[in-house]
Structures are given as structure tokens and as C-alpha cells.
Amino acid sequence: MSETTVVNNGVNVEALLGAREALSEAPEAAKFLWRASCEWKNGTHSKTSVEGYFGLGSEQVHKKTFSFDADHPEVFASEDNGATPVEIVLVGLASCLTAGIAAVAQHRDIQLRSCKATIEGGMDIQGILGVDADVRNGFDGINVHYDIDADATPDEIRALVAQSQKRSAVYDIVTNPTNVSVEVN
């Protein structure tokens, strides 16, 4: 092919690289604080909203407030007003990895045509129900499957997916321990 095509996955890589350079000069501006506020509705139903966060040295706000209903399904005798919290964790992981794939592809001049993930987390609920103390509460494993159509060799596509895991915040949060402190007023 003699014609050159411009790769466009809708990711502004120049801006990201510029930010990386600027932040390595001013590491304080790289400190972000992400927030969500959650309010109990009824039963296992809660509504969480996300609006402001701190970053680049000052308070920031999203273009609008996003809200998320969480609940449990009817098999748990709940009303099923929203996804379960563990499903929302899967949402976070899949969307983080997918965003990463698009960004890495853009940086490597690879045009994505389609990129679909299915994600599954296995869980033995004997853990959360306290039936068996040897069973952990959380997922016993997570499997992600990607179907990607892109202008690249299979190994280049595998490398995109691997690199995206390497740079993903949610992947890190899920695979590595994090200190969590919970206080009550």
C-alpha cells in the first residue's frame, strides 16, 4: 500500500504524552484523589454518585454528575434495582483495560476496528455467607476475553492487551493488595 492512513482511535496521545512530560517535571500535580459518595436507599439498594475529584493541584468536576444504582438480584431476595457491587468491579476492570488498549493502540499507530471484552469473575458465596471460613469472600479468579479486530498481527494485538494490563489502574487495584481504612463519624 502506498497511501498512508492516519490512525484514529479517538485517543489524544499527544495530550497524554504532553501530560506525562509535564507531570514528570511537577510530580505534585500528578497526585489525584478520586471520590464517590454512596447513599443507602432501601434493602440492599444504594445509589452512588461521582462528581468532583482532585487533580492537577486543584478541585475538578466532571461535566455532569454520574450516578450508579447497586443492588442484589432477586435470587438474593433483593429487588434488583441495579448491578451488584462485584459486577461493578468487573465493569471497572473491563472498561479500564479497554481504554488502555485504545490508548496503547493509538500510540503504536494501530487502527482498532472493533474491540469487545467479556469478563467473568468466579465466586463461591459460601465465603460471604459465612458457611465455610476457608472460602474467601471475593472472586476466586477473573477471566477476561477480548475479541479485537485491528490492523495488526496477532502478536501485536496480544502485546496491546498485555501492555494495557501493565498500565491499568484497576488491574493493579484488583491484582495487588491495597490498604483500606473505614471510619465512622
Partner 1 sequence: MVTSRNVTCVIIGAGHAGLAMSRCLTELSVDHVLLERGEVANSWRTERWDSLRLLTPNWQSRLPGFKYQGENPDGFRDMPEVIKFIDQYANFISAPVETSTRVTSVSSSESGYKIITNQGEWRCKVLVIASGACNIAVVPNIAEAVSYKVNMLTPIQYKNPNQLADGGVMIVGASATGTQLSKEIQLSGRQVTLSVGEHVRVPRVYRGYDIKWWMDSTGILDERYDDVDDINRARRVPSLQLTGSLDRGTLDLNTLTGIGVKLVGRMVGMRDDKALFSGSLKNVCSLADLKMNRLLDNIDEWITNNDHIVGINPRERFLPTLIENSPTLEINLTENNIKTIIWATGFRPDLSWLDVPVLDRKGQILHEGGIVNFPGMYLMGMQFLRRRKSSLIDGAGDDALDLSKHLKAYLDG
Binding site for partner 1 (CB under 8 A): 27, 140-141, 155, 158-159, 162-163, 165-166, 171, 174-177
In the complex, the smallest distance separating the C-beta of residue 49 from partner 1, rounded to whole angstroms, is 30
In the complex, the smallest distance separating the C-beta of residue 174 from partner 1, rounded to whole angstroms, is 7
9 or 164: CB nearest partner 1: 164
DSSP structural state of residue 29? G
Identify each DSSP E strand in 21-77 by its residue range. 37-42, 45-55, 58-70
62 or 158: CB nearest partner 1: 158
In the complex, the smallest distance separating the C-beta of residue 123 from partner 1, rounded to whole angstroms, is 14
131 or 162: CB nearest partner 1: 162
DSSP structural state of residue 75? G
* Encoded amino acid at 24, one letter: S
In the complex, the smallest distance separating the C-beta of residue 159 from partner 1, rounded to whole angstroms, is 5
**Which residue, among 97, 55, 99, 93, has the nearest Cα to 173 in the 3D structure?**
93
In the complex, the smallest distance separating the C-beta of residue 146 from partner 1, rounded to whole angstroms, is 13
31 or 158: CB nearest partner 1: 158
- How far apart (Å, rounded) are the C-alpha atoms in residues 138 and 140? 6
Which H or E run contains 172? Answer: helix 169-175
In the complex, the smallest distance separating the C-beta of residue 142 from partner 1, rounded to whole angstroms, is 8
91 or 173: CB nearest partner 1: 173
Which H or E run contains 87? Answer: helix 85-107
68 or 139: CB nearest partner 1: 139
**Which residue, among 168, 97, 177, 165, has the nearest Cα to 138 in the 3D structure?**
177
Q: How far is CA 1 from CA 4, 5, 13, in A?
A: 8, 10, 25
- How far apart (Å, rounded) are the C-alpha atoms in residues 95 and 100? 8
